Amino acid sequence: MTPRFALLASLGSSRLARAIGLALLALGLSVVMYWPALASYPVSQGGDGPMFHRMVEAAKVSWSRYHELPLWNAYECGGAPLWANPESIVSSPLILLMQPLNTTVTMRVWYVVHHAFGFVAMWLFARHELRLSRGAALAASVIFALTVAHGSQYAGGHAALVGFLYAPAALLFWRRAENDARFAVGLGLLFAWMFYEGAPYPVPHVTLLLLAETLTRAWPPRRALAVAKSGAIFGAVFLSVSAARLLPVLDQLREHPRLIVNETDALSWQTVTDVYLAKVHEWRFSQGYVWGEYIGYVGILVVALCLVGVLFTRRTEAWYVAVAALFFALMLGHFATYAPWHVLNTHVFPWKSMRVPVRFRLILLLFLAGWVGMAVDRLPPLVARWFGSRAGGRARVVMLGLALLGAGDAMGYSTDVVRTKFDGPIAQPVVPGVRLTMGGPQMAGFIDQPRQNRGRLECWGEWNFTAGAPQWEGDVPQARSTDPNVVVEVANRTQNTFTIDVDARAPGRVLVNVPYDRGWRTSIGEARNQDKLLVLDVPAGRHRIDLKYWPAGLTLGFFLTALGLGSSLGFLLRRRRT
């Protein structure tokens, strides 16, 4: 091997070794934070966790028992969209990769892996954008990814919000995309990944982060043009690669717009103080939501270091202060008619369909963590200039020690909170029913019903528009007719399909035991909505009717996703070779 190639191989192996080391560090720290949850196995998650547990269980059953895409949740609300549910995480590639695992394990791995992703994202942002040292980047990454704001939000059951942990990587990619189209493509792929993971809040909120940052680079016109070009590339990649989920979700939002009422929450200054400094707090208090939506403890030490970092923010980082100020104002909620959140929540889609403005704290934490890192790196040189290099070295040790001590305290509290969030039922063994039916005697526990092949008519979750359809319960035929001219002879079903044999002496109507959604397609007759129930108007004759659920836009979406993914990977590989 020539010296030149030996040097390249050495550099490559060194970069790979650092990447592996960073990944192992992130994963190890994430495991430490979630250790109480891991140690409590087989107890499942509490809070809103059972809702997502059940969604994932429905997806696993769809793949393993029926060999179908997880398109329709036959076990909730009498039946409801699963793939196209904006809150659903079952379209995530990670969920598919964890198909062999049981759902209790899957949910734990979901959180551990995403917190590790968040650590790596903040590390890369701190090292490559803020130019922090490794020690400062370590403190910043722990504060962002492994403290209680994120820990409580997700361990408390909000599995679809984990995309907030990608915010530092998104901001890094977006700022680099101005001069390198590969980062624009990478950002589009990252956003598509987030969207497949659910992200009803992270995608719009992180988009707002990028839009706010873009305003700081809108001059001169030549620079604005470069930013616009990278934005066009990013948009094309995101819209195409995410299309297999984006188009069905947009169709659902168009058909069933979410109306938010009584969203008037505005943070008091006492609550702002409590968010970052209170370990003990009443669960219900004067604000609009429970304390779990506000909790963000980092401690007095981290807050003090953050304030020091603000003082040492450089002129070239004025954008950092401006964007942080905007997100602080957004977090405050409806404090005035001109408040940023009030304007968005009142007038702008998709924020008109959202609530809980304090969730902006999950992005604001990125800036707070960065300022702690700045304090660690930028105060000691000033001490050295005033008092000599030895004093500067000591200041460096002290500042890093204080930062790691504060980060460790905040991470330790997050671990304590995570311990309280895994208090749900233990999944029980069940005997699956021969047929998929609604309700009936001897129903298994809530999280076990999909494996039992039983659905329920009750609903848990925001996407419950199918509730109230006049369905029937018990191990009885899943299609029937009230028309004497129409006889239903056989009715078999899976999660996404019905096969119905009908003998119709005259045109008539068949009732199907599933709520109506326009994604239901029939091979014979017409699918219609009768008081929320799916009914089929069939012609005279003997028919075998194949009824299947296929969300609107999914076929086009798969085509666009394949096209976008192939084009993106081809572009990245070609640019790498050149």
pLDDT tens, residue by residue, 133-149: 999 999 999 999 999 99
Q: Domains in the chain and their CATH numbers?
A: 32-421 (no CATH), 479-554 (2.60.40)
Q: What is the dihedral of CA 337, 339, 345, 346, to 10 degrees?
A: 20
Q: What H or E segment, with its residue span, contains residue 404?
A: helix 389-421
SS3 state of residue 550: coil
SS3 state of residue 81: strand
Q: What H or E segment, with its residue span, contains residue 32?
A: helix 3-33
Paired tokens of 502? 């009908």
Confidence of residue 12 (pLDDT cuts 50, 70, 90): low
pLDDT given for residue 8 in this prediction: 44
Contact 401, 77 (CB under 8 A): no
468: left (phi over 0), alpha (psi -120 to 50) or beta: left
Q: Is 309 exposed, middle or buried (0-12, 13-18, 19+ CB in 10 A)?
A: buried
CA-wise closest residue to 255 among 537, 548, 532: 532
The predicted model gives 157-178 an average pLDDT of: 97
**b/e 195-208 (16+ beta carbons within 10 angstroms → b):** bbbbbbbbbbbbeb
The predicted model gives 517-543 an average pLDDT of: 96
Q: How far is 206 from 187, CA to CA, in rounded Å?
A: 11
Q: Name the DSSP letter for residue 180.
A: -
Q: How far is 413 from 146, CA to CA, in rounded Å?
A: 10
The predicted model gives 285-291 an average pLDDT of: 94
pLDDT reading at 512 higher than 80 = yes
Contact 59, 95 (CB under 8 A): yes
Paired tokens of 39? 């140690």
Pairing of strands 533-538, 508-515: antiparallel
The predicted model gives 528-548 an average pLDDT of: 96
How far does CA 83 lie from the centroid of its chain? 14
**b/e 130-157 (16+ beta carbons within 10 angstroms → b):** bebeebbbbbbbbbbbbbbbbbbbbbbb
Round the CA-based radius of gyration of the chain to a whole number and report it: 26
The predicted model gives 1-24 an average pLDDT of: 69
CA-wise closest residue to 514 among 73, 207, 205, 161: 73
